[in-house]
Amino acid sequence: MVASTASERVDLELDTAFTISRGSTVETTNHLVTVTDRAGRVGIGGAAPAAYYGEDGDSVAAALPDLLAAVESVGDPGEWQTIERRLAEIAPDEAAARAGVSVAVHDLVARQRDEPLYREWGLDPERAPATSVTVGIDDPEEMAARAREWRTASDSGTASDSGTASDSGTASDSGTASDSGAAGYPALKIKLGTGDDRARLRAVREAAPDASLRVDANGDWSADEALAALPWLDDLGVALLEQPVSGDDHAGLARVTEAAPMPVAADESCVTATDVPDIADAVDVVVVKLMKCGGLGPARRQIAAAHASGLDVMLGCMVETGAAIAGAAHLAPLVTYADLDGALLLAEDPCTGLSLPDGEIDLAAVERGTGARRR
Using CB under 5 A as the criterion, which residues of the chain lie in contact with Mg ion when the complex forms?
A: 216, 267
- The alpha carbon dihedral of 305, 306, 310, 313 has a sign of negative
- 69 in Cβ contact with 260 (< 8 Å): no
What gap in Å lies between CA 118 and CA 233, rounded to an integer? 36
Which residue number, 43 or 49, has a Cβ lying nearer to Mg ion? 49
Work out how close the CB of 319 gets to Mg ion at its nearest, in angstroms, rounded to a whole number.
12
Of the two residues 294 and 369, which places its CB atom closer to Mg ion in the complex?
A: 294
Instruction: Name which of 267 and 349 has its Cβ closer to Mg ion.
Output: 267
For residues 287 and 1, what is the distance between their CA atoms, to the nearest angstrom?
34
Residue nearest Mg ion, CB atom distance: 267
Closest CA to 344 of 157, 116, 98: 157
Minimal distance, residue 50 CB to Mg ion, in Å: 10
Closest approach of Mg ion to the CB of residue 341, in Å: 12
Report the alpha-carbon distance of residue 267 to residue 216 in Å, rounded.
Answer: 9
Q: Compute and round to an integer the Cα radius of gyration of the chain.
A: 20
DSSP, residue by residue, 316-332: ---S--HHHHHHHHTTG
Q: Residue 80 or residue 221: which is nearer to Mg ion going by CB?
A: 221
Edge-to-edge strands of the sheet including 133-135? Answer: 133-135, 187-191, 212-216, 238-242, 264-266, 285-288, 312-315, 337-338
CB 245 within 8 A of CB 223: yes
CB of 314 to Mg ion, least distance (A): 9
Residue 267 or 341: the one with the smaller Cβ distance to Mg ion is 267
Which one, 190 or 346, has the nearer CB to Mg ion?
Answer: 190
* CB closer to Mg ion out of 117 and 137: 137
Q: Give the angle subtended at the CA of 155 by the CAs of 171 and 367, to the nearest 5°.
A: 165
Distance CA 180, CA 159 (A): 23
Distance (Å, rounded) from C-alpha 262 to C-alpha 247?
A: 19
Contact 367, 162 (CB under 8 A): no
Q: Which is nearer to Mg ion, 37 or 216 (CB)?
A: 216
Is residue 146 within 8 A of residue 203, CB to CB? The reply is no
| Closest separation in Å from C-beta 288 to Mg ion | 11
CB of 219 vs Mg ion, minimal distance in Å? 9
Contact between residue 37 and residue 1 where contact means Cβ atoms under 8 Å apart = yes
CB of 5 to Mg ion, least distance (A): 31
Cβ closer to Mg ion: 18 or 118?
18
Least Å distance between CB 24 and Mg ion?
16
